[in-house]
């Protein structure tokens, strides 16, 4: 399902003619395509290719749309189809592709990343957002080994599978921006979700160690820790009102957190503005946690 072959045209590359993605569903034969939005307005991520995992819905979809709005070509990996998000990006004048991919399956991740490299000519940004995050209360004594392992397979090893797959590509250019999504729960340690919180703590350590190991390759690795964010999934839980009341009060900015609140930080860590920032974690939660 290749949509476009060849390197992502960067405005700085000196290639004058606009090389536009030929969209399959535009029904146009080769040649003419949609003018890349980047030609009209300079985005901070013009010429960049971003992978966002877990972006079929939830906060991930907002990261994907936000990066695309800044000019990045976005590739989404999710266990659910992401056609809706891809269509939204294209409707807004951007470029996106998606594939079904379970990040805990290293072979599938390698295939996905290979497809992105072939379609878009590289990978500059990786947003490790895919994560199991059920908010149902599970006391520690009821946590099964299988569920524990599943959470670590997706939330932690899944990130490493993605890093391993993009590494050779990022090393080619000696440039990369990896953003790992952790969670404010690492700081306030809520009960009855030990598997989830533990995976997010692991991500913090992973971010720091990766930054040291990959710094010499020009790859920056940072983390974002969101607070409880009002996604459709979260709002559908029958204890949502309790969560909201309990949490909004703990914030310096006393309102619910919405996915839009996180996009700015994602773009910051994806853009050259943060090129000398690595190994860091930024808490984005209206100031409940002070880090």
Which residues are identified as catalytic?
196
**C-beta of 52 vs 263, nearer to another protein:** 263
User: Least distance from C-beta 176 to another protein, angstroms?
Assistant: 12
CB atoms within 10 A of CB 277: 15
Give burial (CB, 10 Å; 0-12/13-18/19+) of 2. exposed
User: Least distance from C-beta 41 to another protein, angstroms?
Assistant: 8
Task: Mention every residue, 6+ apart, whose C-beta is less than 8 A from residue 279.
Answer: 207, 208, 211, 212, 221, 222
Distance CA 243, CA 45 (A): 35
**C-beta of 83 vs 275, nearer to another protein:** 275
Assess contact for 60 and 83: CB atoms under 8 A.
no
Assess contact for 286 and 257: CB atoms under 8 A.
yes
**C-beta of 119 vs 127, nearer to another protein:** 127
Assess contact for 88 and 122: CB atoms under 8 A.
no
Report the alpha-carbon angle 87-269-278, nearest 5: 145
Assess contact for 87 and 81: CB atoms under 8 A.
no
Q: Which residues bind another protein (CB under 8 A)?
A: 208, 211-212, 214-216, 218, 220, 251-254, 257, 261-265, 267-268, 271-287, 289-291
User: Least distance from C-beta 86 to another protein, angstroms?
Assistant: 24
Distance CA 21, CA 28 (A): 11
**C-beta of 86 vs 163, nearer to another protein:** 163
The backbone torsions φ and ψ at residue 100, rounded to the nearest 5 degrees and listed phi first, read -70, 130
User: Least distance from C-beta 258 to another protein, angstroms?
Assistant: 8
**C-beta of 28 vs 273, nearer to another protein:** 273
User: Least distance from C-beta 12 to another protein, angstroms?
Assistant: 18
């Amino acid at each position: 399902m290749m949509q476009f072959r060849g390197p992502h045209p960067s405005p700085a590359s000196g290639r004058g003619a606009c090389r536009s993605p030929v969209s399959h569903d535009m029904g146009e034969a080769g040649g003419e395509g949609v003018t890349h939005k980047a030609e009209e307005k300079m985005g901070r991520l013009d010429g960049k290719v971003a992978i966002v995992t877990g972006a079929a819905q939830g906060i991930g979809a907002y990261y994907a749309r936000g990066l695309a709005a800044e000019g990045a070509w976005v590739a989404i990996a999710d266990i659910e189809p992401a056609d809706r998000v891809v269509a939204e990006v294209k409707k807004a004048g951007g470029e996106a592709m998606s594939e079904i991919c379970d990040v805990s399956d290293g072979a599938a991740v390698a295939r996905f990343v290979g497809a992105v490299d072939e379609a878009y000519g590289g990978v500059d940004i990786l947003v490790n957002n895919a994560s199991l995050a059920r908010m149902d209360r599970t006391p520690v004594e009821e946590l099964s080994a299988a569920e524990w392992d599943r959470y670590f397979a997706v939330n932690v090893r899944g990130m490493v599978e993605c890093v391993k797959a993009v590494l050779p590509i990022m090393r080619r250019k000696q440039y990369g921006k990896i953003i790992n999504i952790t969670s404010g729960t690492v700081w306030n340690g809520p009960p009855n979700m030990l598997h989830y919180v533990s995976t997010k703590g692991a991500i913090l350590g992973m971010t720091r160690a990766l930054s040291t190991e990959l710094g010499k390759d020009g790859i920056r690795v940072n983390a974002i820790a969101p607070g409880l964010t009002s996604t459709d999934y979260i709002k559908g839980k029958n204890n949502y009102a309790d969560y909201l009341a309990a949490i909004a009060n703990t914030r310096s900015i006393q309102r619910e957190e919405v996915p839009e609140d996180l996009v700015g930080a994602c773009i910051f860590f994806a853009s050259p503005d943060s090129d000398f920032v690595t190994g860091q974690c930024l808490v984005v939660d209206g100031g409940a946690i002070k880090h």
